[in-house]
Structure 1
Amino acid sequence: MASGMILAGLGLATIGFGARFIIKQMPTMGQKLAEATKTFPKMDSKAFANSKYYKGGFEPKMNKREASLILGVSQTASQQKVRANYKKLMLLNHPDRGGSPYVSAKISEAKDLLDKN
């Protein structure tokens, strides 16, 4: 019983000294944090200028260029290549599997446009 009381007292003393240390270090921690945030690089639109992703949204009326960008094929790709890429993209973006209905509609529209040519 006595050893339990001693351990509880030591635990409370440890918590008290730890809290005292943290409270004393708070002002210097705040200064260090402020200095660190000043040295972070600034994020602006130029940071994403060399991005590998296509910039911009969809065209109002889809053309062959946009369709080929969506499916990841050339504008003169064969029907087999178009259908293979369509199938792969639809497996990833189908609404029944958590994909966006809008994106899957655009993928289907791109396949239809390239398939009929």
Structure 2
Amino acid sequence: MATTMVIVGLGLAGSALALRTLARASGPLAKQMEKTIAELGTADYKYYRGGFEPKMTKREAGLILGVGPSTSQKKFRAAHRRIMLLNHPDRGGSPYLAAKINQAKDMLEQTSK
């Protein structure tokens, strides 16, 4: 019984020390977290940060597929395939996004003829 009491006492002391250390570190950590969140708001994103236009344009089709508007048919078909494999509705993707990806491919096919 005495060893049990010693073990419980050591466990409580260890827990108290861990909580004290955590409490002391929370001040600088909170400041660092606020700084990081502020930096995230001003980050320059690699991806297009806008919604879809009401009518598909050649520029938007290129942005969706990640290719230039004057890319060869072979390249934008490869880009379409790669993106559709990731966003297909049968694999958990959005049907709306899949429709937009297909619409972008169709738009670039029409303009490349």
Q: Where does residue 112 of structure 1 map in the other structure?
A: 106
Q: Distance in 2 between matches of 1:43 and 1:74?
A: 33
Matched, 1:56 2:35: no
Q: 1:73 aligns with which of 57, 63, 67?
A: 67
**Matching of residue 32 in structure 1 with residue 25 in structure 2:** yes
Residue in structure 2 matched with residue 103 of structure 1 by the alignment: 97
Shift of residue 38 of structure 1? Answer: 2.2
What is the percentage of aligned positions where both structures have the same residue? Answer: 44
Cα deviation code 1:53-74 (max 9, x no counterpart): 2111211211000101111222
**Structure 1: runs of 5 or more not aligned:** 1-7
Measured in 2, the distance between the counterparts of 1:91 and 1:25 equals: 47
Confirm whether residue 15 of structure 1 aligns to residue 34 of structure 2: no
Quote the offset at 1:111 in angstroms.
0.6
What's the offset of the Cα at 1:98? 1.2
Looking at structure 2, the residues matched to 89 and 17 of structure 1 have their Cα atoms a distance apart, in angstroms, of 56
Deviation at 1:96, TM superposition (A): 0.2
Cα shift at 1:86: 1.1
What are the residue-to-residue correspondences of 1:35-46 with 2, within 5 Å?
A: 35-40=28-33, 41-44=35-38, 45-46=41-42
How many pairs are equivalent? 108
In structure 1, give the amino acid aligned to 2:23.
G
- RMSD (Å), alpha carbons: 2.2
Residue identity matched to 1:31: R
Q: TM-score, normalised by structure 2?
A: 0.78
TM-score by length of 1: 0.76
Greater Cα radius of gyration, structure 1 or 2: 1
